[in-house]
Structure 1
Amino acid sequence: MPGWIFIIVRSLIFILLLFITTKILGKKQISELSFFEYVAGITIGSIAGEVVTGLEANIYHGILAVVIFGFVTWLVDFISLYSKGFRDMIEGKGTVVIKDGKILEENLKKERYTIDELSALLRQKNIFKLADVEFAVLEPRGNLSALLKKENLPLTPKDLQMKMPNEKEPQTVIMDGHIMDEPLRLSGKGRGWLYTELEKLNVTLANVFLGQVDSYGELTVDLYDDKIQVPQPQQRPLLLATLKKTQADLEIFSLQTDCEKSKAMYKKNAALMQETIDKLSPFLNG
């Protein structure tokens, strides 16, 4: 049999074998690797390449070697789940390189990192001044975790004591012009509602590349024809505007009436409406 046929057959066998091995080892093999996983990945790839192109080599020996390395890698990951000491030995520990706003030069030298390399890692996190950093750790997988000084931290709604709604995962209900019934059901909607919303947006189902329902029950779409402008959902802003108008009307009524009893009633309900608006504003603002 010609050599090129052997290469095709062996290539297909090892593509399948490596795919199965990687699936068994999990997503860590295609993400950031530990030292051991890095070595194991290179070795498995080298074995596969050698057996695929080595026409005189025994293919079963190559398969056995891949299986052994795959099993050892899986075993190391399994033991690491239950033993911190073993995990620290295999994967290493994080190294503190900035503490209390000061660079720990000795730790930086121990990891063989220069100031330029540290600065580059900080820039990847949009940190351009070392003086802004309170604490930073060089993780075992080579990435940097950094904590800014309190005065440099961005403000959050919690800092401003603002109430924010809980966001849920948006459900993709239309894909490539086809309705996805399961996500539509999970969003608590039906096909009738979907067709009504598409009609409001003045678009056809066939022209929708992607349609999603957010946690507020609003439909947003991306069309095949990017020249068509799709109006943004207005239900929440419209409801908020209606509530504000109602509250303003109640205040006007309280000023216009001469009846003290009616005036007190209008003022009370205007205050209750204002409380409702304050509570719902985080949910209804855009």
Structure 2
Amino acid sequence: MTVNETILRVTIAFLVLFLLARLMGRKEIGQMTFFNWTTAIGIGSIAGNLAVNESTLIKDGVIALIVWTLFTIILDMIDLKSKQGRMVTTGEPLIVIKAGRIMEAALKISRIDMDELQALLRQKDIFSLKDVDYAILETNGELSVLKKESQQPVTKTDLNIKSLKNVLFPLPTDVISDGKINSENLSKLHLEKSWLDRELQKANIRSAEDVFFAQVQQDGTLYIDRKSK
């Protein structure tokens, strides 16, 4: 392979990869789930072959990149439209500490030992497990932590000496996503669909289909985000 051909191949591979990366969006970079990692590895391998492997025709390499990108975009669309699709492509978060107790089964499923869990907690500036109320391992491998109330930082509300609201639920819980009611979560909270309907009516919303996202807060109130028109 001549120098000119190498330069041409690298230039084409770079431009095609750059354009396709822009087309796929920021999610492939910002949220590295198993699916995103697989996609990045695949596209990188194809681009590498296109750039330096003279047995790979430029046309074939470009077609392979485009087809791989189309598969990625299609699966992303499924991921956006279907909760079941999201569970297949990205999995679901795992509660590894619940009400201050370590969930050993969740650690086994995620194949994380106590040393790794403590390392993840230290990255959140938490050096003692007794300070943690809830910890959730997200689908991108990051750990989200809710500290116990006594360990949480003081807020402006606290400084106003206002009494704390009653905590009815341990965590904020999703009850509507993409216009679809999560009956399982409602059941876990011991709430009826009729309660949800009443809360939506109070917000002048006729149907759950008009809601993009709704979440029951710890004090029992409902946070609602309408769908964009």
Tell me whether the two structures share a fold, i.e. TM-score over 0.5.
yes
Unaligned runs of 5+ in 2: 162-229
Aligned to 2:33: 34
* CA apart distance, 1:59: 0.9
* Contact 1:119/1:128 (8 A) holds in 2: yes
* Distance in 2, Cα, partners of 1:127 & 1:31: 24
TM-score, length-scaled by structure 1: 0.55
* Contact 1:94/1:140 (8 A) holds in 2: yes
Aligned to 1:5: 4
Deviates more, 1:35-44 or 1:63-72: 35-44
* CA apart distance, 1:32: 2.5
Aligned to 1:25: 24
* Distance in 2, Cα, partners of 1:16 & 1:111: 38
Higher relative contact order (CA 8 A, sep 6+): 2
* Distance in 2, Cα, partners of 1:96 & 1:134: 11
Moved over 4 A (4+): none
Give RMSD over aligned pairs. Answer: 1.4
Q: Name the count of aligned residue pairs.
A: 162
* Distance in 1, Cα, partners of 2:159 & 2:87: 40
Map Cα deviations across residues 243-286 of structure 1 (whole Å, 9 max, x no partner): xxxxxxxxxxxxxxxxxxxxxxxxxxxxxxxxxxxxxxxxxxxx
Aligned to 2:63: 64
Please state whether the residue corresponding to 2:159 is helix, strand or coil: coil
Residue 94 of structure 1 pairs with residue 93 of structure 2: yes
* Distance in 2, Cα, partners of 1:87 & 1:32: 14
TM-score, length-scaled by structure 2: 0.68
Aligned to 2:43: 44
Aligned pairs for 1:1-286 within 5 A: 3-161=2-160
Q: What letter corresponds to residue 156 of structure 2 in structure 1?
A: P
Unaligned runs of 5+ in 1: 163-286
* Distance in 1, Cα, partners of 2:105 & 2:79: 29
Aligned to 2:168: none
Please state whether the residue corresponding to 2:135 is helix, strand or coil: strand
* Distance in 2, Cα, partners of 1:22 & 1:12: 15
* Distance in 1, Cα, partners of 2:48 & 2:153: 50
* Contact 1:3/1:55 (8 A) holds in 2: no
* CA apart distance, 1:150: 0.7
Please state whether the residue corresponding to 1:13 is helix, strand or coil: helix
* Contact 1:137/1:144 (8 A) holds in 2: yes
* CA apart distance, 1:6: 0.8
Aligned to 1:229: none
Map Cα deviations across residues 42-101 of structure 1 (whole Å, 9 max, x no partner): 111101111211123211111000000111111111121111110111100001100110
Which structure has the highest helix share of the two? 1
Please state whether the residue corresponding to 1:67 is helix, strand or coil: helix
* Contact 1:94/1:139 (8 A) holds in 2: yes
* Distance in 1, Cα, partners of 2:120 & 2:83: 27
* Distance in 1, Cα, partners of 2:114 & 2:35: 27
* Contact 1:95/1:137 (8 A) holds in 2: yes
